[in-house]
Amino acid sequence: MRRILDRRVVITGLGLVTPLGTGVEKNWEALMAGRSGIGPITRFDASQFPARIAGEVKDFKPEDWIEKRDVKKMDPFIQYVYACAEQAMQQSGYPVTEENADQFGVLIGNGIGGLNTVEEFHKDFLITGLRHFSPFFIPKLISNLAPGQISIRYGARGASFTTTSACASGSHAIGEAYRMIRLGFLDAAIVGGTEAAITPLGVGGFVAMRALSTRNEEPERASRPFDKDRNGFVMSEGAAAMVIEEREAAIARGARIIAEICGYAANSDAHHITSPAPEGRIIAKCMRMCLEDNGLDLNEVDYINAHGTSTEQGDVAETQGIKRVFGERAAKIAVSSTKSMTGHTLGAAGAIESVFTVLAIERGMIPPTINQEHPDPECDLDYVPNQARPAKIRIALNNSFGFGGTNTTLAFRPA
């Protein structure tokens, strides 16, 4: 198989489904307004849970994006990213043909899979046994049916698989597809991440870990990255997708290039199942590796979309990691956590935040970190508190870190 090193990779389509809304423009409007998508849980009776808030997707109608006969075959985590892929493909206008289908891939990150389907069918099974068991049970819940359904929709015959790495899943999907295009194993791909795990088991599991915010009376103020009054993250759901392709081919077909992916790195803390390595050492190494991927100048990094989950250990470790990489210049870099508005979308987070980062570059505006009211003394960078800010961004990074110590950093720059 041919291997062409150092091909450039650009983004030509974007799609979003988040607690801020369905579609890129709804999301961008909310980000610029500093509007939270967090509210009381409505999917089930959470009255007995200590954490009763979440970032639910509220305006999504699967029938707007999926044939009615196919909706029942897809868990919500598949539906969300299927809709995002449709948005991204419409914007990109990428023409899938018999000639290029073998070089067109689909890589989608997902952390948990079809938890809604598991709980729904388990209840039915306890009542009816196998008598009314659906043949769609397994295809609805397994993670790789997210890229599987999308590849079927568009006839994409290139690599199609799921990256599953907790909260770094979406970023890994983007990064691995970027590498495959650089090396010539693909020419283009739909990439992204998705999650839909706001269920009794999903929320209950994180409650048992004491990871979730219990600011139930003020849901919009509950996600507070880098603020000393934070008391955990807010669980959310959603998805994002991009169409990415080899730069020269995109130019040749007259595509509108939104931005370029210019770096990717992944590593592991090898430290603890949930806590980051001390002092942000391995996080710093991941960011350095990303910058070294294409020989990027760290002095040109103007914005970092932080992982910023609103947990003390995570926020402090990321801050320390940024300082290790950028030294005195760290204080001059805008760092914001859009999780302050979306909550933590788990396996979708890296993809959603990559789209936000790309939009920040394209539109010259940095999203804020809302609820920055009482800064943590150990978090002393410029977190763009509470209001969006105009900026010319030369290079932007997006950090994503997950349970088990998995880390990713992606770099983007203007088209």
Contact 212, 309 (CB under 8 A): no
Of 84, 172, 290, 344, the catalytic one is 344
Neighbours of 169 (CB within 10 A): 31
Residues 53, 39: contact at Cβ < 8 Å?
yes
167 is an active site residue:
yes
Residues 6+ apart with CB under 8 A from 135: none
Instruction: Retrieve residue 382's tokens.
Output: 């410029």
Provide the 8-state DSSP code for 379: -
pLDDT digits (tens, 9 = 90+) for 36-77: 999 999 999 999 999 999 999 999 999 999 999 999 999 999
Choosing from 167, 262, 286, 379, the catalytic residue is: 167
What is the band of 2 on the pLDDT scale with cuts at 50, 70, 90? low
pLDDT at 158 over 90: yes
Q: Averaged over 87-99, what is the pLDDT?
A: 98
Active site annotation includes 379:
no
Which whole number is the average pLDDT over 182-198? 98
The answer to whether 46 touches 11, Cβ cutoff 8 Å, is no
pLDDT bucket at 115, cuts 50 / 70 / 90: very high
pLDDT in tens, 319-332: 999 999 999 999 99
Residue 172 appears among annotated catalytic residues: no
Question: What pTM was computed for the model?
Answer: 0.97
First to last CA, the chain: 29
Q: Please give, one letter per residue, the 3-state secondary structure of 126-171.
A: HHHCCCCCCCCHHHHHCCCHHHHHHHHHHCCCCCEEEECECECHHH
Where b means 16+ CB within 10 Å and e means fewer, 235-248 reads bbbbbbbbbbbbbe
Q: Which of these is catalytic: 84, 172, 307, 379? A: 307
Q: Are 266 and 219 in contact (CB under 8 A)?
A: no
Query: Domains of the chain (ranges plus CATH)?
Result: 9-252 (3.40.47.10), 263-414 (3.40.47.10)
pLDDT of residue 1: 45
Digit-coded pLDDT (tens) for 270-307? 999 999 998 999 999 999 999 999 999 999 999 999 99
